[in-house]
Amino acid sequence: MILVTGGAGFIGSNFVLDWLAQSDEPVLNLDALTYAGNLENLASLAGDARHVFVHGSIADADLLARLLAEHQPRAVVNFAAESHVDRSIHGPEDFIQTNIVGTFRLLEAVRAYYATLADVEREAFRFLHVSTDEVYGSLEKDAPAFSETHRYEPNSPYSASKAASDHLVRAYHHTYGLPVLTTNCSNNYGPFHFPEKLIPLVIHNALAGKPLPIYGDGQQIRDWLYVKDHCSAIRRVLAAGRLGEVYNVGGWNEKANLEVVHTLCDLLDELSPRADGQSYRCQITYVADRPGHDRRYAIDARKLEQELGWKPAETFSTGMRKTVRWYLDHPQWVANVTSGSYRDWVGQQYGADKA
């Protein structure tokens, strides 16, 4: 079996669902179920013996040692993290604890477990760390996209904590010979995306008749990848990546935020028009910029394509249409995740009257 951490979050749950749709190899899913973890994402696996869920933290050394000894996974895929930049600005502590201390504890536990394996199992074992393009910092308008050798220049507490985790993973390979792989991916979107992030937030607010908040001038650029394409890239790197290597994952879809929001409004105008016949674009509102806001990210994914033959299956246009349809078809999922503590977050970030 494989051990997946953070498998109840946005990307992790998509990964677990895709994995079990394509293989009978069981998944041990360790997730702390923070505000971002949601077992409803995995409801279709109820009663499926191939999915074993454990509620717990990657920072819990005793739990990790017990799980590894008991289940003997042949690989670990580490998604578990605090992932939202704005939250890291309001309160970095959780990001340090999970993304740095948690990754360190996980590496320590895996190092001890790896030492107990027989030669043939050690040969096959992999630790895949899921990271982000944000560790490379912000690109100038015409600068080439981030390659794997771009220097690290993280600008937010979130990206700094992910950068630290990447460095620890690298060090465990060089110092202890742990068979690691690291993927640094651009912005994902798709089903089960928590509506604190731009794309699901805009879909949710549009349908609720609320403002669509654009930070600053809306000309910041992100490189968007449909989440299922990220999952296929991780499977490919896990299967064939060279040990100790880093692989950048991206969709070659650089878009300014305002263009993304216009695309969403146009899709919603077509698929679920406003009752008054106006475009959802009339709900766009400019709000204060994110402190330290990175201007542009772009991923050069040629290494992954040339070495491992991976390419995204979705274009921005097909992926966005699928995503809007998914949110329109799952109003109950959205209603469930936008109750309770979600309202507290929206009140803190955008003003109490917007919650």
The residues of the shown chain that bind ligand DAU, judged by CB under 6 A, are 83-85, 132-134, 186-187, 197-198, 201, 213-215, 220, 222, 257, 290, 297
User: Do residues 98 and 82 make contact, with C-beta atoms less than 8 angstroms apart?
Assistant: yes
For residue 50, the SS3 value is: coil
- Helix axis angle for 157-176 and 103-115, nearest 10°, is 20
- Tell me, yes or no, if 286 is annotated catalytic: no
**Does position 19 bind ligand NAD by CB under 6 A?**
no
Whichever of 213 and 241 has its CB closer to ligand DAU, that residue is: 213
Helix, strand, coil % in the chain, rounded to nearest 5: 50, 15, 35
Applying CB under 6 A, what is the total number of residues that bind ligand NAD? 31
- Region class of 148: left (phi > 0), else alpha (psi between -120 and 50), else beta: alpha
Instruction: Please select the residue that binds ligand NAD; options are 32, 164, 169, 180, rule is CB under 6 A.
Output: 32
Phi, psi of 150 (to 5 degrees): -60, 140
> CB-wise, 248 or 257, nearer to ligand DAU?
257
Rounded CA gap, 314 and 62, in Å? 41
List the one residue out of 266, 253, 247 whose CA is nearest residue 180: 247
Torsion of CA 266, 270, 275, 278, to 10 degrees: 40
d(CA 211, CA 350): 10
From the list ligand NAD, ligand DAU, none, which binds 191 (C-beta under 5 to 8 Å, kind-based)? none
If one asks whether residue 346 binds ligand NAD (CB under 6 A), the answer comes out as no
Residues in the chain: 355
- The residue from 36, 284, 334, 346 that contacts ligand NAD (CB under 6 A) is 36
Q: Which does 213 bind (CB under 5 to 8 A by kind): ligand NAD, ligand DAU, none?
A: ligand DAU
**From ligand DAU, ligand NAD, none, which one binds at residue 58 (CB under 5 to 8 Å depending on kind)?**
ligand NAD
Q: Whole-angstrom Cα distance, residue 249 to residue 302?
A: 9
Active site residue 158: yes
The 3-state DSSP class for residue 75 equals strand
Interface region with ligand NAD, contact rule CB under 6 A, candidates 4-12, 203-211, 271-279, 343-351? 4-12
> Among the candidate windows 27-35, 118-126, 267-275, 280-288, which touches ligand NAD by CB under 6 A?
27-35
Of residues 3, 11, 85, 145, which one binds ligand NAD by CB under 6 A?
11
The CB-of-37 to ligand NAD minimum distance in angstroms stands at 3
Q: Does 198 bind ligand NAD (CB under 6 A)?
A: no
CB 178 within 8 A of CB 107: yes
Rounded to 10 degrees, the C-alpha dihedral 205/208/209/212 comes to: 0
Give least dist CB 222 to ligand DAU, A.
5
Scan residues 60-119 and list those touching ligand NAD (CB under 6 A): 79-83, 98, 102
Active site residue 113: no
- Of residues 113, 114, 136, 158, which has the active-site annotation? 158
Residues that bind ligand NAD (CB under 6 A): 5-6, 8-12, 30-34, 36-37, 57-59, 79-83, 98, 102, 130, 132, 162, 185, 187-188, 194
Active site residues: 133-134, 158
